[in-house]
């Protein structure tokens, strides 16, 4: 087995439908610069930084801010989407965006790093 992971072992079987290609393009805002969406997804899945988990009938590959969902039986890429931040992480990000727009830093307002 390649890295002990069934999804990686069957990488050559990964495919999607024409509708799947469009859904992935739209959800990840890939546009036309990515010619082969399946090849792009396969490259992300086999990336050393990819975290691959299986939940029920699907594999989930979390890598570089996106999650790619692959059916565990047919190896069809069902969808891919950008990772959502947790509520606390979203608040922190919004705070940092506001502070950077106003020229403030965490230390200038007495806030410590988490």
pLDDT digits (tens, 9 = 90+) for 14-43: 999 999 999 999 999 998 888 899 999 999
Using N-to-C axis directions, what is the helix angle for 18-28 and 37-45, rounded to 10°? Answer: 70
Look at residue 39 in the predicted model and tell me its pLDDT: 96
pTM confidence score: 0.71
CB 54 within 8 A of CB 62: no
Beta strands 51-55 and 66-71 are unpaired
Distances from the Cα of 92 to the Cα of 52, 97, 111, angstroms: 27, 9, 12
Q: Is residue 113 scored above 50 in pLDDT?
A: no
């Amino acid at each position: 087995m390649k890295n002990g992971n069934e999804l990686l072992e069957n990488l050559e079987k990964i495919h999607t439908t024409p509708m799947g290609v469009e859904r992935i393009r739209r959800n990840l805002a890939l546009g036309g610069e990515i010619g082969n969406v399946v090849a792009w997804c396969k490259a992300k899945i086999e990336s050393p930084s990819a975290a691959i988990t299986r939940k029920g009938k699907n594999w989930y590959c979390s890598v570089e801010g996106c999650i790619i969902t692959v059916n565990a039986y047919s190896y069809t890429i069902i969808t891919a989407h950008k990772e959502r931040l947790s509520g606390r992480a979203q608040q922190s990000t919004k705070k940092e965006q506001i502070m950077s727009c106003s020229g403030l830093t965490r230390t200038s307002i007495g806030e410590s790093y988490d």
